[in-house]
Chains A and B, each alone.
Chain A
Amino acid sequence: MEHLFTNLATALTGWMITLGLSPVWADVILLLVKWIIIITIITLNIIILIWLERKVSAFFQERLGPNRLGPFGIFQTIADAIKLLTKEDIVPSAADKLIFKTAPMFFIVVAVMLYTVIPMGQGMEVINLNIGLLFFISMGSLSTIALLMAGWGSDNKWSLMGAVRSVAQMISYEIPLAFSLLGVVMISGSLNLQDIVAAQDNIWFVILQPIAFLTYFIAATAELNRGPFDMPEAEQELTGGAYTEYTGMRWALFFLAEYTNLVAVSALMATVFLGGWQGPWLPSWLWIIIKTYGVILVFFWVKWTFPRIRMDHLMSFSWKVLVPVSLGNILLTGAGIYFCQWMGWC
């Protein structure tokens, strides 16, 4: 079980080489297959996730959630997807058409790119990048541009307001997000995510870096535009923020990308702080799935507990609390490592 997927991949490459393909081309084709698998998994995953979020939020409010279509309403999201696909695609006449239309595509592409570096099991990643963590952070921050494009292209004050908010929010939270991961990088001594997982062989980083874990969690919530930091959408004040003018499948793409981001960030969190694919008994790829879903459930829990906070509070929280705390964490980690070396423990 453990090497199910890796063995499949080697078998596929071997088969292609016996067919007379050069090893380079076989690798390229394998990469393509990996991408297709990832996109399929993402899409299917979203269907489950949206159902899960609706169910979980219902349970938090003592409701039943979707329960009509199929057992436990599991087909509800599929019905929603069909509805969204068949909806009219409206492009506002005053919109900047090119920007308006490319924004959702850009958003989803950026979101899918995040999966390139996440180790989904032992030796299971699309590319084993030696700056994987850096790649992830920089790709994650690109989604700001997509939101800004959507807000600007819509030519609507709500959209623009949502976009401006999202830019301000994401730039502010990018800093504590990166800083909190720095402590982990200092301990493991690598930006390669497989190395970081390997470094958690004995002890998870959540225990060594609890402050970093907390700051990362908060900053990630803001990065994901999830409640209580969902200011850019803020249905009640901004009628959907940057997504106001979008309909049908274009809107669904944003939705898809948001959940894709959610899974990616949760997977990164599981990888960096919760030991990644490491775990006893079960195969590694199952462990990362379990951990990722655990983190996602915590995200749901937080979203359905706290009310949305005010924009200025959000900004001051980032600059006055999270940035100093994460900087302090780096200092503490550095001092700890120095102390450790001085004592000869490591």
Chain B
Amino acid sequence: MNGQGLIKGLGITLKHFFQKEITEQYPDVMPELATRFRGCLQFEFEKCIACGICVNSCPNNVLSFETEKSENSKKKKLLSYTIDFQYCMFCNLCVEGCPKDCLHFDHDFELSTFSRDDIKRVYLRPAEMDEEKEADAAPVQDEQESKEQKQIDAMLKALQKNPQKILAKMLEQEEDIGILSELMQSNEKTAGKIAELLVKDKEKAAKVAAGFVTKEKKNRLQAEKGGEE
């Protein structure tokens, strides 16, 4: 029959009239969010291994980090991690890619900030992480260094006291020995350098000493010429 639909429609609206309202009273009442809701991206510094998978998987270049390579280990050291959140489109690719689960979305959706800079979040390396490392790695290095330093100091003293004897081991001609010892007395830096090299690497010390001598000779020649003119 014609018009049946109209009555049906009226019935539907009447039914809804008596149903409970579905309006969420945010911000008076916080909405209930699904478990997989993507709110704010969070980063856990301690877990990150600086592999860069997240940076490569992000389509919007939201993520970036800075690393430092320490001399005595192959591991990269993460210095800072930056999330420029304004470009994020909540695609979840970074979270899926991360092998260490350092990235995840929390339920905080109130993301507006007063200034554009506030939305960019920089995570700096927490101080505790470095303290731990120092506790096991750094002291050994220090001991070695201080030993060497002592040797160098001793060598320097010996050089200043009696240069001819030590230099004779490296240089053949008397004249050269004389020049170098004069040079060392007038310039402490040269002496320090030669002392350090003598402790660490004797062959190299000989070469450098020879180099110093030839250089000094040239200088003197030039000075003589200059005087004549």
Spell out A's residues near B (CB within 8 Å): 56, 58-64, 301-302, 304-306
CB closest residue in chain A, given B20 = A62
**Is B13 a contact partner of A305 (Cβ separation < 8 A)?**
yes
| A305 CA / B13 CA spacing, docked (Å) | 6
Kindly provide the distance from the CB of B6 to the nearest chain A CB, expressed in whole angstroms. 7
**Among A56, A64, A302, contact of B10 (Cβ-Cβ < 8 Å):** A302
| A64 CA / B29 CA spacing, docked (Å) | 14
Kindly provide the distance from the CB of B4 to the nearest chain A CB, expressed in whole angstroms. 14
**Is A301 a contact partner of B22 (Cβ separation < 8 A)?**
no
Spell out B's residues near A (CB within 8 Å): 6, 9-10, 12-14, 16-17, 19-23, 25
**Among B10, B14, B21, contact of A62 (Cβ-Cβ < 8 Å):** B21
| A63 CA / B13 CA spacing, docked (Å) | 13
Kindly provide the distance from the CB of B169 to the nearest chain A CB, expressed in whole angstroms. 96
| A73 CA / B19 CA spacing, docked (Å) | 20
Kindly provide the distance from the CB of A40 to the nearest chain B CB, expressed in whole angstroms. 31
**Is B21 a contact partner of A301 (Cβ separation < 8 A)?**
no
**Is A306 a contact partner of B9 (Cβ separation < 8 A)?**
yes
| A61 CA / B21 CA spacing, docked (Å) | 8
Q: Which residues of A contact B21 (CB under 8 A)?
A: 58-59, 62-64
Most buried by A among B16, B20, B25: B16
**Is B16 a contact partner of A60 (Cβ separation < 8 A)?**
yes
CB closest residue in chain A, given B8 = A305
| A60 CA / B17 CA spacing, docked (Å) | 4
| A62 CA / B24 CA spacing, docked (Å) | 11
| A304 CA / B14 CA spacing, docked (Å) | 10
Q: Which residues of B contact A61 (CB under 8 A)?
A: 16
CB closest residue in chain A, given B22 = A62
**Is A301 a contact partner of B10 (Cβ separation < 8 A)?**
yes
Q: Which residues of A contact B17 (CB under 8 A)?
A: 56, 59-60
Seed contacts A64-B21, A301-B10, A302-B10; 12 additional CB < 8 Å A-B pairs = A58-B21, A59-B21, A60-B16, A62-B16, A62-B19, A62-B20, A62-B22, A63-B21, A64-B25, A301-B13, A306-B6, A306-B9
Kindly provide the distance from the CB of A69 to the nearest chain B CB, expressed in whole angstroms. 15
| A60 CA / B13 CA spacing, docked (Å) | 6
CB closest residue in chain B, given A60 = B13
Q: Which residues of B contact A301 (CB under 8 A)?
A: 10, 13-14
Q: Which residues of B contact A304 (CB under 8 A)?
A: 13
Q: Which residues of A contact B6 (CB under 8 A)?
A: 306
**Is B13 a contact partner of A64 (Cβ separation < 8 A)?**
no
CB closest residue in chain B, given A63 = B23
Q: Which residues of A contact B14 (CB under 8 A)?
A: 301
Q: Which residues of A contact B25 (CB under 8 A)?
A: 64
17 A-B contact pairs sorted by A residue (CB < 8 Å) = A59-B21, A60-B16, A62-B19, A62-B22, A62-B23, A63-B22, A64-B21, A64-B23, A64-B25, A301-B10, A301-B14, A302-B10, A304-B13, A305-B9, A305-B10, A305-B12, A306-B9
Kindly provide the distance from the CB of A56 to the nearest chain B CB, expressed in whole angstroms. 8
CB closest residue in chain A, given B6 = A306
Q: Closest 3 interchain pairs by CB?
A: A305-B13, A64-B23, A60-B13
| A315 CA / B9 CA spacing, docked (Å) | 22
| A22 CA / B6 CA spacing, docked (Å) | 58
Kindly provide the distance from the CB of B2 to the nearest chain A CB, expressed in whole angstroms. 10
